[in-house]
Structure 1
């Protein structure tokens, strides 16, 4: 028979950690993150949903912002069979607004599996979530920090790079040799015929 001490996770167990990095364009001096445990790792039971929103009674973590929904989003831990990794889904709990994960929009109550690195947006908020693997099965940690620069403006492997299109045509034209650029800018449905000289 197993003793109780063998079934309880020990402090030495490496917990999975969700690093949540927040950004809002008016965050300085507004106290938006006053209820969050910034910089400290918070242990959370893996069988309970982690909810974020403005309602301190209904949510695990609250934002001090009347424009945020009472319950904005939910994170739920799960495991795949024969996998040691703790993974997460995200669910949009807001009836008022959409939530996007790496540019893919989620409507009310829609769920999505979170990749190891994800940019989540709702309202004017941006949250860069990064999952750090661990071994413990019954709980995980969450660590919040505030970013001084929008994560969507920084180079991020989880987002496609966006380059503005100039009036003279697509930025892709500059990558063509000079003899091809002479044809001018192309529309996406045009085909450029090239002849090679022998």
Structure 2
């Protein structure tokens, strides 16, 4: 007969970890990440969605930015019968703006599976989410970080309808137009600019 303590998840179980790395063009002059536990790992139950948005009461994590939707996005953990890995889907919770995941755009309440490395964009934010596999089934960890440069530039995960990578492997993004920044979360026409 198995002891109950042998079947429960223990502190030694390796947890799946989501590394969430943020970038915003004005992050140095605004306290956008003041409510995020930067540099600390936080543990979350796998059966509860992880919500991110402006509303600290409705969301698991909050951004201090009036241009972010009250509830911007949610991450849901799941497993499949054929794999021991904990996987994640992302859902757009914003009625005012689109969310892009690598080269795919999500409208309100649309969701999709997250690959192991995903570039998420909403408004002027870029979020790089990297999943690190673990053994635990009931919970996962989240770790937040702020990047000095846009992850799209660093990783060249540029989002367009026709993505091309030049021999240099570098790319730059067209900046957001000033008239669009005051309107709240809006999808922009993103274009690659290559230095030839």
Q: Please give the range of the TM-score, normalised by the shorter of the 2 chains.
A: 0.7 to 0.9
The Cα shift of 1:158 comes to 8.1
CA contact (8 A) 2:116 2:130 kept: yes
Corresponding residue number in structure 1 for 2:75: 75
Q: CA–CA distance in 2 between the matches of 1:81 and 1:114? A: 18
Residue equivalent to 2:100: 100
Gaps (5+ residues) in structure 2? 166-170, 172-191
Alignment partner, residue 116 of structure 2: 116
> 2:177 aligns to what?
none
Q: Which residue of 1 aligns with 2:132?
A: 132
- Cα deviation for residue 85 of structure 1 reads 0.4
Deviation at 1:2, TM superposition (A): 3.6
Equivalent position of 1:37 in the other structure: 37
Q: Secondary structure at the match of 2:105?
A: strand
CA spacing shift, 1:32–1:78, aligned 2, 3 Å: same
After superposition, residues 15-94 of structure 1 pair within 5 angstroms as 15-94=15-94
Alpha-carbon distance in structure 2 between the residues aligned to 1:165 and 1:153: 12
Q: What residue number does 1:181 align with?
A: none
Corresponding residue of 2:145: 145
TM-score normalised over the length of structure 1: 0.80
Residues 152, 158 of structure 2: 8 Å contact kept? no
Count of residue pairs the alignment pairs up: 167
Q: Provide the rounded CA distance (Å) in 2 between the counterparts of 1:71 and 1:123.
A: 13
Output the CA distance in 2 between the equivalents of 1:45 and 1:32: 26
CA-CA distance at 1:29 after TM superposition: 2.9
Report the secondary structure of 1:154's partner residue: helix
RMSD between superposed Cα atoms in Å: 1.7
Say whether the 8 Å CA contact 2:73–2:90 is kept in structure 1. yes
Q: Are the counterparts in 2 of residues 18 and 130 from structure 1 also a CA contact under 8 Å?
A: yes
Gaps of 5+ in 1: 172-198
Following superposition, the deviation at residue 155 of structure 1 comes to 3.0
